[in-house]
Structure 1
Amino acid sequence: MKTQGQKLLLLIAFLAFIAGYSQVKISGKVTFKGKGINEINVTLKDTYDGATTDVQGNFSFETSEKGNHILTFTHPKYQDVEKPVIIENQDVSVNAELKEQISEIDAVVVSAGSIEASDKKRATALLTPIDIYTTAGADGQISSALNYLPGVQKVGETEGLFIRGGTGTESKIFMDGSLINNYFSNSVPGIAGRDRFNTSLFKGNIFSSGGYSALYGQALSGALMLESVDLPDQSSYDFGISPIFLSAGFQKLGADKNHSYGATLGYSLLSLMQKVFNFNTDFIDAPQGLNGDFNFRIKTKSGGFIKYYGMYDSNKMGVKTESLEPEYDFALVRLKGRNTYHNLSFKQKFGKYLLNAGTSYSYNRSDLNFSTETNNTESGSSELLTDGNYINFKAVLERKINKISAVRAGFELNNTSEKLNFGNVQKNYKDLISAAFAETDLGFSNALSAKIGVRAETSSYLGKSNIAPRFALAYRLAKDWTTSFAYGLFYQNPESKYINWPADLDFQKSQHYIFQVQRASDGRSLRFEAFYKKYDQLIKTFNITPDKEQNQQVQTALNNDGYGYAKGLELFWRDKKTFENIDYWISYSFLDSKRDFINYPVSLKPNFASAHTLSAVAKRFIPEWKLGVNLSYTYSKGRPYYDIATKTENSNAVNYIRNEGRLKDYNALNISFNYLPNLGKKDARAFTVLVLSVSNVLGSKNVYGYNFSLDGSRSSSVVPPVNTFVFIGAFISFGVDKTQDAINNNL
């Protein structure tokens, strides 16, 4: 027995010796202009082995790999470097000298009003797709995640980005340069529509809360420019399953790695969750939706790109509420919606010129049926049917003057054809907006740059034209400190939903003045912005009654006599460095705004504008537990609400405020967990993420507004469909390893 024990100990010692002997140490130093630089990621390509340089630029790590390999050196501020290494049985020493990304980092970039998350070399990079997926309370939606940034108001009763005192329709969303009409799903009054587009479709975004580029128009407040992904790294298959949806998709990369195609299909149904949670909303038809999409991407031999994306979705729901009118017990509304969207883009260099061209088409149909119920008998049905066709085309030609200067120009066509039927209101609205624009980036030095642009538009419906100049200036105050100033004139057509009667209308107009101070260093960023917006030629409306049986009224454009202003201060702080494995950001917005528009009788604080908004997001990944923990919190001061009615004075219809007040303050704490059971398993055939999220975990009873009866004597609150919602799901990917994302605190 003793001899056998000695042999066993000898065997264990031998195996330990072999294991230790098989490890080879790779070390070296990374420098820039002769000085060592820290936080450079050094990785043995296609493995999990690597290290990060220390303050002197030194690195070392051990690996069991053998043979020919590539050692990569990466950092957002420097050009990527790859060095071949041969790993045998001796330690390896490799040094690298890096070059700075002068065009992106050395030269100061105009950023007033804009937050960018597209190019990985941008110092202002913010919300990546992984950021959005791991923001508790965002539900994986881009628009919801933007609510945690300064300048965006929390408005839960309707969809849209409400930016700096602007309505949700005063911000526009673009995909690869082309306008997305109907970005949000169809919905019923009081319930916000969701994003139609999958967040993973986009590799980044530029979110502008004001002063945006002359390349974009028809938005008084802001713009969100989404950039779709290029070729995938490899073929993959994805599945998602939860109590409320099923989804499946694939991406196939061609053998030549110059083309790919893919598709997804999903179905959602909320009926099961209705049985589990106490919903505030009585869904007589549980919300359900069917969606599918297809894409292909082709990289040309000369380095250009052709990308196509097409999608279709349908949804329906039915809602029952207690009637505010004494002659009825309940009011019912049912929705059937359909939408299709197609986007084709082309990017190609021709000598010294870069051409970006794209076109998009969308069709949207919304069928709302209103009825009442008394003594369990449904009656008085009326239908609001809208359908629209939208075509957008844009071409931009750009030429680089030098590394930090460029000039670009182009044109855009946006054609709209809409039909509406509601009682005795029947319309066929058509408009072609033609636009031309020119813009230049001027880099005077590494410390001073400017952006100057102009945009001109003509509307066939209005029969009028406009010219909108835009200007921005940026200056580097110190190594990490920059300041920017932006001014712009912005025009937008009146909303077509208000054009139900002939009227002599003009473009609505806003002027933006933005001042920003920003400090950006490795792992930390601080932004302060002050802004002032002046509104002119806003739409004023009057009420008409298309359906007398239902006593339902619609607002109809009267003139452009409206006006207003918005001013405020914003603060944003993000920190990935102070606390190990913790990424957090805090944003605060102060807004002072008044408007006299639509049916407002006088200049009022808009019912979608909160004076104070505070948001905080925190994320921590715990490698040893393979677990990501995410928290978010939002507070906003209670918004005003108004019950505006019409009365007759001296034979004239006059609007007046019948009831008004202020909503209770909004509070919501959200939490989510992401568990990665495959983490660290190199041979795992499938990468799985298990998700558990709880929205409004404290169950705060938030109120979005009030509905009033026709005589103003009764009211009901507009509230979220459910106070607290729990989501649990599993997402499985075959062929894509997201381990490194998890290690980098991205999941």
Structure 2
Amino acid sequence: MKTQGNKLLLLMAFLSFIAGYSQIKISGKVTFKNKGVNEINVTLKNTYDGATTDAQGNFSFETSEKGDLMLTFTHPKYQDVEKSITIDHQDISVNAELKEQISEIDAVVVSAGSIEASDKKRATALLTPIDIYTTAGADGQISSALNYLPGVQKVGETEGLFIRGGTGTESKIFMDGSLINNYFSNSVPGIAGRDRFNTSLFKGNIFSSGGYSALYGQALSGALMLESVDLPDQSSYNFGISPIFLNAGFQKLSHDKSHSFGATLGYSLLSVMQKVFNFNTNFIDAPQGLNGDFNFRIKTKSGGFFKYYGMYDSDKLGVKTESLEPGYDFALVRLKGKNTYHNLSFKQKFGKYLLNAGTSYSYNKSDLNFSTETNDTESDRTKLLTDGNYINFKAVLERRINKISALRAGFELNNTDEKLNFGQVQKHYKDLISAAFVETDLGFSNALSAKIGLRAENSSFLEKSNIAPRFAMAYRLAKDWTTSFAYGLFYQNPESKYINGSADLEFQKSQHYIFQIQRSSEGRNLRFEAFYKKYDQLIKTFNITPDKEQNQRIQTALNNNGYGYAKGLELFWRDKKTFENIDYWISYSFLDSKRDFMNYPVSLKPNFASAHTLSAVAKRFIPEWKLGVNLSYTYSKGRPYYDIATKTENSNSINYIRNEGKLKDYNALNISFNYLPNLGKKDSKAFTVLVLSISNVLGSKNIYGYNFSLDGARSSSVVPPVNTFVFVGAFISLGVDRTQDAINNNL
């Protein structure tokens, strides 16, 4: 009996030991928005026991652990979930509902109306500085390169960004948040001014063809926000030489890489090219210009950043054309212009707040002289002299709420002081526009986000205020597909050049509605946008003619009874992946627009708006030849033109159309070649690019419009200064090799 009892005790002890290490089954289901989720890691915390969910979100595993433990559910796209469980002698069933992990990288971004290009947005970058330099026909100018994007009209007779049925002055350009007044050089009638700023000054840009942020104002159509470069990688020296210009510059970086400074100096003269090409324009004074700039960058010990950029330029030219007025052989106009611009910005983080503050000052003087010539005798000159001082200040305080949400607010001051002297018209225009704004980015999930803003402005000249709400939202339809919607109310003062007398004026106003669908994947981008713009309170003007000999008419604001609309469809496709070493994009814009504004007697299609615009750009880099080949083509349907005159009836000035028609369709094919002789040389401390560019290589005879005599009986076409233009130049950098950067941006 004793032996039998011992055996029984031994058996009970063994069974107790086995029971202590028996396996308990833990199972359940993991869901997100009531749908099973696969690839979720399910583990007992601080153990090696666990499993991964299947396609339906189910999981199951066994464990010998006992007691109170923590069950964890993890995945990079979802927030971690922990559940407390008690393991005893029974199987356990545990379900979990996940929440999305909010990520700045994965979150959808509101992009209706906007195109961003910067180092931070490589996947969606559309116009980097290298893109601009290597776009045939852009001549290295940011504004010219934007003409190859949807929504921007090709208008050659005057400077400015003509966006979605808006005039060139209805778009504004900003540098590091501060307004750039007089971004374009001074010009004479019929010849557009050029960009004053070097493209290499900027590291990225955001181009908004509508619905832009509440941080910016005083633009009815769109905004271009430019971001200047930070500290250079290392010290360098740069040289440029061509038959048109000479320039040189340097950037000096401190040993501790905490600050830098640099300067450039350049001179341009077109007289050599006049002797080579058959110009349409008779330049009695060849266009010439002198420019210089200076910059410094300082990175503070506390992480702050100061940037300063200052520039000065002067330009001069003279043009001679056949006179449209009887009794005169030729009409002459001469220009002397001066401009200076200074921009200082500061960025600093204070705890959870980020401060961005900046100020800019610019002075611009344009001295136009009009005269006539008869039998080789020149008449007395009539002077149109304008000069203006402009000061802008803006401060923005931003507070991050989470990874993809933020709140920002600030204020802006924009002061204008202009003088004009032209015959019987003499004026001194002053205005201070003060603005306050608030804006929030709301990230509801990685698939849904919104931007809500409000801007308020007051004009001391108009003695009126406005409030402009802005709203935009974006939703991810699928992995690569997103959709965005934007709405905004936008105000802008009447242009000061039309305020030549007393008039009770209001802010001009526009409303934007934009819908976008976009597919963005590695190396490919497809965008479709539909938009509608409604204009109200546009200014109406009447013509006055201070100088009949020169056929120079100016327009004077009468009231704000103008109105209009613009609606259209746009398509953009860029592909850097399908064809090896080839980058290309295609854009198409359809525009339906009408306006009753300025001196228009009725609602008309604007003379700067084309119904159909098609652009194509292609770039091919051939490494073995060290050569880049770039092509671009632009087609736009012929724009309307009008000869609008003023007559007096019953003591009232009435505008009417004397002549009208439609221009021929615009066509231009451009080609450029970039040769990099340094390619393949190890440890090269020099970077050289040789450039050959041919604009309008087929020699299409494009027409931008018509000038009419005072009585409307005679006319002359407005054409480009030259039909086909060839540029040859060399650009050299010493101390830094940027060859690989140039190659990478073309692959």
Inter-CA distance 140–449: structure 2 relative to 1 (3 Å threshold): same
Counterparts of 2:334 and 2:2, CA distance in 1: 83
| TM-score scaled by length of structure 2 | 0.87
1:105 to partner: Cα distance: 3.0
Matched, 1:635 2:649: no
Deviations 1:268-325 (A, max 9, x none): 0000000000000000000000000000000111222100000000000000000011
Inter-CA distance 31–343: structure 2 relative to 1 (3 Å threshold): farther
Q: 1:77·1:121 contact (CA, 8 Å) conserved in 2?
A: no
Inter-CA distance 676–33: structure 2 relative to 1 (3 Å threshold): farther
Task: Indicate the residue corresponding to 1:4 in structure 2.
Answer: 4
1:167 to partner: Cα distance: 0.1
Deviations 1:713-737 (A, max 9, x none): 1100000000000000000000121
Q: 2:325·2:551 contact (CA, 8 Å) conserved in 1?
A: no
1:746 to partner: Cα distance: 3.2
Counterparts of 2:701 and 2:44, CA distance in 1: 52
Q: 2:131·2:745 contact (CA, 8 Å) conserved in 1?
A: no
Deviations 1:378-437 (A, max 9, x none): 004100000000000000000000000000000000000000000011100000000000
Deviations 1:246-265 (A, max 9, x none): 00000000011010000000
Q: 1:339·1:364 contact (CA, 8 Å) conserved in 2?
A: yes
Counterparts of 1:723 and 1:2, CA distance in 2: 120
Inter-CA distance 71–146: structure 2 relative to 1 (3 Å threshold): farther
Counterparts of 1:464 and 1:382, CA distance in 2: 36
Counterparts of 1:689 and 1:65, CA distance in 2: 69
Deviations 1:556-577 (A, max 9, x none): 0000000000000000000000
1:75 to partner: Cα distance: 21
Q: Secondary structure of 2:701's match? A: coil
Q: 1:424·1:547 contact (CA, 8 Å) conserved in 2?
A: no
Q: 2:670·2:694 contact (CA, 8 Å) conserved in 1?
A: yes
Counterparts of 1:332 and 1:16, CA distance in 2: 113
Residue-pair matches, total: 747
* Greater CA drift, 614-623 or 85-94: 85-94
| TM-score scaled by length of structure 1 | 0.87
1:30 to partner: Cα distance: 28
Deviations 1:473-524 (A, max 9, x none): 1000000000000000000000000000010001000000000000000000
Task: Indicate the residue corresponding to 1:513 in structure 2.
Answer: 513
> Which stretches in structure 2 are left out of the alignment for 5+ residues?
none
Counterparts of 1:590 and 1:477, CA distance in 2: 26
Inter-CA distance 529–33: structure 2 relative to 1 (3 Å threshold): closer
Inter-CA distance 377–479: structure 2 relative to 1 (3 Å threshold): same
* Greater CA drift, 41-50 or 291-300: 41-50
Task: Indicate the residue corresponding to 1:353 in structure 2.
Answer: 353
1:37 to partner: Cα distance: 21
Inter-CA distance 652–626: structure 2 relative to 1 (3 Å threshold): same
1:542 to partner: Cα distance: 1.1
Inter-CA distance 277–39: structure 2 relative to 1 (3 Å threshold): farther
Inter-CA distance 63–198: structure 2 relative to 1 (3 Å threshold): farther
Deviations 1:628-681 (A, max 9, x none): 000000000000000001122333221110000000000000000000000010
1:208 to partner: Cα distance: 0.0
Inter-CA distance 542–87: structure 2 relative to 1 (3 Å threshold): farther
1:62 to partner: Cα distance: 47
> Which stretches in structure 1 are left out of the alignment for 5+ residues?
none
* Greater CA drift, 155-164 or 537-546: 537-546
1:739 to partner: Cα distance: 2.2
Deviations 1:45-88 (A, max 9, x none): 99999999999999999999999999999999999999999999
Q: 1:308·1:344 contact (CA, 8 Å) conserved in 2?
A: yes
Counterparts of 2:50 and 2:688, CA distance in 1: 24
1:202 to partner: Cα distance: 0.2
Inter-CA distance 366–648: structure 2 relative to 1 (3 Å threshold): same
Q: 2:620·2:746 contact (CA, 8 Å) conserved in 1?
A: no
Deviations 1:421-463 (A, max 9, x none): 0001110000000000000000000000000000000000000
Deviations 1:589-638 (A, max 9, x none): 00000000000000000000000000000001000000000000000000
Q: 1:108·1:447 contact (CA, 8 Å) conserved in 2?
A: yes
Counterparts of 1:157 and 1:503, CA distance in 2: 29
Task: Indicate the residue corresponding to 2:537 in structure 1.
Answer: 537
Inter-CA distance 83–369: structure 2 relative to 1 (3 Å threshold): farther
Q: 1:474·1:482 contact (CA, 8 Å) conserved in 2?
A: yes
1:98 to partner: Cα distance: 23
Counterparts of 1:421 and 1:64, CA distance in 2: 95
Deviations 1:154-185 (A, max 9, x none): 00000000000000000000000000000000
1:126 to partner: Cα distance: 1.2
Aligned alpha-carbon RMSD (Å): 14.2
Q: Secondary structure of 2:119's match? A: coil
1:33 to partner: Cα distance: 22
Counterparts of 2:277 and 2:511, CA distance in 1: 46
Inter-CA distance 89–379: structure 2 relative to 1 (3 Å threshold): farther
1:546 to partner: Cα distance: 2.4
Counterparts of 2:239 and 2:129, CA distance in 1: 18
1:743 to partner: Cα distance: 3.1
Counterparts of 1:226 and 1:243, CA distance in 2: 30
Q: 1:105·1:123 contact (CA, 8 Å) conserved in 2?
A: no
Counterparts of 2:339 and 2:678, CA distance in 1: 37
Inter-CA distance 18–144: structure 2 relative to 1 (3 Å threshold): farther
Q: Secondary structure of 1:102's match? A: coil
Q: Secondary structure of 1:107's match? A: coil
1:742 to partner: Cα distance: 3.3
* Greater CA drift, 36-45 or 679-688: 36-45
Q: 2:619·2:746 contact (CA, 8 Å) conserved in 1?
A: no
1:687 to partner: Cα distance: 1.4
Inter-CA distance 739–657: structure 2 relative to 1 (3 Å threshold): same
Describe how 1:229-268 pairs up with structure 2 within 5 A: 229-268=229-268
Q: 2:392·2:413 contact (CA, 8 Å) conserved in 1?
A: yes
Counterparts of 2:5 and 2:613, CA distance in 1: 70
1:550 to partner: Cα distance: 4.1
1:554 to partner: Cα distance: 1.2
1:326 to partner: Cα distance: 1.6
Q: 1:251·1:262 contact (CA, 8 Å) conserved in 2?
A: yes
1:118 to partner: Cα distance: 1.9
1:25 to partner: Cα distance: 48
Counterparts of 1:496 and 1:65, CA distance in 2: 81
Q: 1:261·1:295 contact (CA, 8 Å) conserved in 2?
A: yes
Counterparts of 2:44 and 2:264, CA distance in 1: 34
Inter-CA distance 83–730: structure 2 relative to 1 (3 Å threshold): farther
Task: Indicate the residue corresponding to 1:106 in structure 2.
Answer: 106
Counterparts of 1:687 and 1:27, CA distance in 2: 64
Inter-CA distance 56–450: structure 2 relative to 1 (3 Å threshold): closer
Q: Secondary structure of 2:497's match? A: helix
1:547 to partner: Cα distance: 3.0
Q: 1:171·1:221 contact (CA, 8 Å) conserved in 2?
A: yes
Q: Secondary structure of 1:613's match? A: strand
